[in-house]
Structure formats: C-alpha cells, structure tokens
Amino acid sequence: MQEFKTIEVDTDLLIIGPGMAGSGACVEGAHWAKENDVKITVVDKAAMERSGAVGMGLSAINQYQGENTPVDYLSYVRQDLMGLCRDDLVMDISRHVNGSVHMFEKFGLPIWKDPDGNYVHEGRWQLMINGESYKAIVAEAAKNAVGMDNIIERVFVVRLLLDKNDKNRVAGAIGFSVRDPEIYVFRFKACIVCAGGAVHVFRPRSTGEGLGRAWYPPWNAGSSSYLTTTAGAEMTSQEVVFIPARFKDGYGPVGAWFLLFKAMATSATGFNYMAEGLAEGGELHNWPPYGEVKPIPTCLRNHLMMIEMYKKGDGPILMHTDKAIAKIAEQAPDEKAYKKEMKKLEAEAWEDFLDMTISQAVLWASKDVFPEEGPSEIMPSEPYFIGSHSGASGAWTSGPEDIQTDESKKEYFWGYNRMTTVKGLFAAGDGVGVSSHKFSSGSFTEGRIAAKAAVKYCVDNPDKPEVDEAELDKLKELVLKPLKHYEEHKALTTLGTTDKKYALPVEEVNPNYITPKMAIFRLNKIMDEYVAGWGSMYNCSKTTLDIALHLIKLLKEDLSKLAARNLHELMRCWENVHRVQIAEAHTRHKLHREETRWPGYYYRTDFPKLEEDSWGKVFVNSVYDAEKNEFTMRTRPIIHLVDIKEVVGM
C-alpha cells in the first residue's frame, strides 16, 4: 500500500459540503468573516460547480414567499408533515428566503417572467426557472465570496474530532483525498455540516444497467447525519423518510405537470383516487385532521396511490399528460394558434426534464413516449432521508431567539441559531431536522443563517479547541484500513488483483473481506425487507424492526472487513459506513414511534393508526454514544408558536 502524507488545514470555520446550503453559508459567511477577521475554509468531496442535490439542475425554485407571510408558509409545512415541524425553524427560513431568490437572479439565474415582468409561478410557492446551470451559477457566487484559495475539492470528510478537554465541543475533522494519497486533518473553532441527505440506504427500484439511478443524488450517503450523530449531537425525526411519486424508472419530476399543466393522475382503469379520497366518507377522512384539509399531505397522496396499486391491484398509476396538454391548447382561438400552443407546451414539457432529470427525457425518447399523445406511469420510489423536502430527519438545532415564546425558548434555543447540541457544531440544509420544505432556496437561506451564527460563535470563542493527537493517530489508521485490508488478502479473491485480472467477468468472493458494492447490497436487502422498503410494500412492525436491528448489528461488525482497491473504493467504503449509521438510527426511531403517522411513507402494521393525542405532540429524538455504540431514545415537545386558523395551499 502506498504511503499517505498528512495535510494539515488550520482555519476558524469549516464548511463541509458546499451544495445549496453550503453555498449559502459561503456567501453569507464570507461577508461577516471579513468584518470580524474570521478565516473560512470549504471542503467538498466532489467539485463545487456541480456538487449537491441541484448539481444536475432544477426546473423550478420551490420556496419563494412573494407576498405570503411566514405564518402562511408554516401552515403549509405543518399540514404536509402531518403536524411534525419546528415552527421557529420554518418561519426563520421563510422570512429570509425572498432575499435569497433575489440574490440568485443577480447571480445570473434565468427566472421566468410574464409579459408584465412578474415572476411566473408554478404554484403559490414555486417559480419556474431555466435551471440546468442553477448550481453552477450559485457555486460561482459562493467561490467568489470565499476565494478559491480557501476551497478544497475532492476530499471526503470521514469523521469529526472533539475537543480533548471538552467532549461536547467540536475541534476538527479528518478525511482523505479521493484523487491523491493524502489524509486531511482540519482544525477549527466551528464547522457547518451541510453534506446532504441519504440515498441507497434502502434497495432502489433501479436494477441492472440502471443501478444507481435514483430521484435524489446517489452520492448522498448520509454524511450529514453520520458526522453529527457520531460527534454526539442530538438527532431528531430520523424515522421520517420521503417517498416521492415520480415518473417510472427515470424518476422525472411531476410538479410541473400537476401544478403548471394541471394534469390528473388515475388508476389503470381511470379511477380518480384523489377525488374519491376527498369525497364524504372517503379514505382521507380516516386521517384527521390532515386528510380533511387541502393541500393533501404528500404521504396521504402516496397512500391513496398505494391502495390502488397494492390493495386493489388497479395499477399502474397513470399521469394523463396528453389530456392536460390538450385542455390548455384548446383555449387557443383558432387551429393555427392551437398548433402553435401545442408546440409550445410540448417544448415546455421536455424542458422540464432537460433542466433537471435528463435521464427521464432519454428514457421517454428511447421508449417512443410522446406526452401529448398518451399517459405515462408514475410510481412511488424507494425511501430517502431528506430534511429539506417532505422529509424531516436531521440534527436537533437551536432556533432563532427573537421569535421564541417563554415556553419554546427553554426547548428550542441555546445560544446560536442552527447550532446542534455540540458546541461549535452547526448544520444546514438536509443536516437540520424538522425544518422541512426548504428545498433549494430555503437550504441556501438556512446556510446563510447558520454561517452568520457560526461566525459569531468564532468571535465569541476565540480560543482554539485542542484535538486529541493519540485519537487522531488511531483515526488515521482506521481511515486507511480498507486499503490495507485489501492488500493483505487480495491473493484469495476470485476476481484477480490490480496486477492480474481474469479475462472473463466473475463475481468476487473473498473469505476475508467485503467489497463496498456487496456491503451496500446487504444493507439494501435488510432495509427493504424489514424496515418498510418498496419490496415489503412499505410495511414494518416491531418484529421486523427487531430482526433488522440484529442484522444491522452483524453488518456493522463486518464493516471492519471492508476492502478497497483504490481511493474511489475507499470513498465507497466510508460512504457505506455512513449509510449504515443512519439506517440503524432510522430503525430505532421507527421502532420508538408506536403509530402510523405518515401512511404512504411507511406503515407500522402493529400500530396502524394515527395517534394524535400522544405521538402527535412530540418529536422522537436520539443521542448516540460512539464509545459505547449505544443509542439513547427520548422525546421532545412540539411547541406551536402560532395558532394556525387556515391552511394556505399550494
């Protein structure tokens, strides 16, 4: 195994993961850092221009307040999450997000305008954009703000380091280059973790040559959750997953079709399950109060789909793109105008995919699908962990002081906005729990909020924490262990070595190690079959969850036998370690919440009902002790800062 050199990086504030949240942290943090002589460093396991969830582009900005109030937006978020959100965090983003969107426009992002110069809305909160280069545009502004000399790309952060003298204070981080034989050691006063959500914890629907295709970015490996969890930060709502219903196989977006084109989805036989679910005596009335008020929560819309697909056998679910396009075009005054409008609508339909899900456009083209001629299948995906969308998992953080009540301040504020329960450790984007529906613009805004607070923390705490050098040396060995393990045992593999390859493709078997690909398959199988993946029709119970915890325990033991042939596989090994940690946390949280709060995301078959009077009043939280490898489960109260009189829709 080749020798690795250690590169030391000394800074004040480290931003881990410059996606949309991290880019917002760069822009805002740089402003306050210059005023207060604070040094900011940014680290990205990829290249900043296209890293994060928006790397492939987007066709809409999904959070723009316009003339709506923060209370309006809170009503929408609280409704969609079946009551589970932190009012202070949601309203904090809401009151600042307009400014972020106006920043994007100044950066050069093309936002659609009508003939009068007003933004074109897809829905109440959504703005249409030409967003293929959305992330590249925002990243350029972020780079200019912090300076290229302060950005380190292609370095994967494995773990955070705690202060030698205060185990509840963060002091540094360790990682490695995915391009060169280098270990990176970061020392700092504070850091912001915004390293995305988690994909491929559950078995994906994509298989064979499509393996790796997912709705959310496949490189999101749960690093935000792992870094904060293993540092000892309190985590919240890890039981909440998001299951988007998207166009089948390509995971293409449906938002523009529902909101802009007003398309309708039905069962295979044409049954309008949404209308029937809302009708008097319909299924949605079994889930009060959320099923009785529009907009219908995302999970309940999924629930109605699943009844048609799994219980009635009336699948697949069809999106009637042809009827939606025709209905709009029919408003044209004559045949010539009709043809022109049809052509325009077809172009907009394809643009929606080309801006953010090119694979869906390629898939439709390869299957001779013409959206103006017939319907297309939509399908619920595998579960994802994404605190920035219709999920809620992430770190339990302090909120803003100025909008707390006397009651909430005791529970929701401890000094610095978006700081976790570990001193100096901040989070944003998918890293923060129960501040859902922030999407790209809200994540950028939350990054701005966290960065301003983190800079203040650095100013208020000028003394540098001390890293335990003995622990650091052990971690250096641990980081490189998969490479060493491969070198020691590669001779017994059936696949050959880096020096000698077999001519024919064969499956690799080695009695001494596990490859990262086989490890992720093993995790996927456990989660899919026992923790409510699509293979089990999203069902689980105490029995299946206990089986999963036993199998995850065995898998965690075997992770010490992971082997990597090169730096890329070393990254894949550690991504799997991160995924397994959030998988265990998710399973324990799901076991602790004894109800079915999000039908359509998952079902506790042993607790099949919504228990609003008990579980509807608390968040499920946990703290992980890395030394003991133990979780402590607890609940925190849901404290409403405002009384919602009316839910504002989409």
Strands 317-319 vs 155-163: parallel, antiparallel or unpaired: unpaired
Note whether 283 and 277 are within 8 A (CB).
yes
Identity of the amino acid at 411 = E
Do 361 and 353 form a contact (C-beta atoms < 8 A)? yes
User: Phi and psi for 583 in degrees, rounded to 5?
Assistant: -65, -45
- Amino acid letter at 574? W
Structure tokens belonging to residue 244: 């988007």
Contacts 24+ apart (CB under 8 A), 337-345: 342/372, 345/261, 345/372
Q: Out of 51, 59, 62, 524, which one is annotated catalytic?
A: 62
Beta strands in 55-124 (DSSP E): 58-61
As given in the structure block, the two tokens for residue 157 are: 């952060």
Selecting among 59, 96, 206, 215, the annotated active-site residue is 215
* Residue pair 433/239 in contact by the 8 Å Cβ criterion: no
In the set 169, 246, 418, 604, the catalytic residue is: 246
62 included as an active-site residue: yes
Integer CA distances (angstroms), 216 to 66, 163, 438, 567, 587, in order: 27, 34, 15, 24, 21
Number of Cβ within a 10 Å radius of residue 17: 32
E strands, 486-574, where?
Answer: 539-540
CA distance 569 to 565: 6
* Residues forming beta bridges with residue 40, ordered by sequence position: 13
In order, the DSSP letters of 249-315 are: TT----HIIIIIS---EE-TT---HHHHHHSTT-GGGGSTTGGGSSSPPHHHHHHHHHIIIIIS---
Of 88, 352, 411, 569, which one is the catalytic site residue?
352
Residue 352 annotated to the active site: yes
**Positive or negative: CA dihedral 49, 51, 56, 61:** negative
Q: Are 551 and 484 in contact (CB under 8 A)?
A: no
| Residue 467: closest CA among 10, 3, 4 | 10
Distance CA 623, CA 171 (A): 19
Q: Please tell me the distance from the alpha carbon of residue 572 to that of residue 520, in angstroms, as a whole number.
A: 9
The first and second tokens of residue 83, run together, are: 């009551």
Q: Is 215 a catalytic residue?
A: yes
φ, ψ (nearest 5 deg) of residue 300: -70, -30
- Active-site residue (options: 12, 87, 122, 163): 122
Cβ-based burial of 65 (10 A; exposed 0-12, middle 13-18, buried ≥19): buried
Answer for the pair 416, 13: CB distance below 8 angstroms, yes or no.
Answer: no
CB-CB neighbours of 493 under 10 Å: 20
| Count of residues making up the chain | 650
Contact between 633 and 588 (Cβ < 8 Å): yes
Region for 265 from its dihedrals, namely left if φ exceeds 0, alpha if ψ lies in -120 to 50, beta otherwise: beta
How would you class 316 by CB atoms within 10 Å of its CB: exposed for 0-12, middle for 13-18, buried for 19 or more? Answer: middle
- Could you say which of 150, 225, 267, 440 is catalytic? 440
| The one catalytic residue among 86, 187, 389, 586 | 389
Residue 570 CA to residue 483 CA, distance in Å, equals 7
- Beta bridge partner(s), residue 173: 160, 186
**Does the active-site annotation cover 122?**
yes
Active site residue 440: yes
Burial 428-461 (b: 16+ CB within 10 A, else e): bbbbbbbbbbbbbbbbbbbbbbbbbbbbbbbbeb
Known catalytic residues are 62, 122, 215, 246, 352, 389, 440
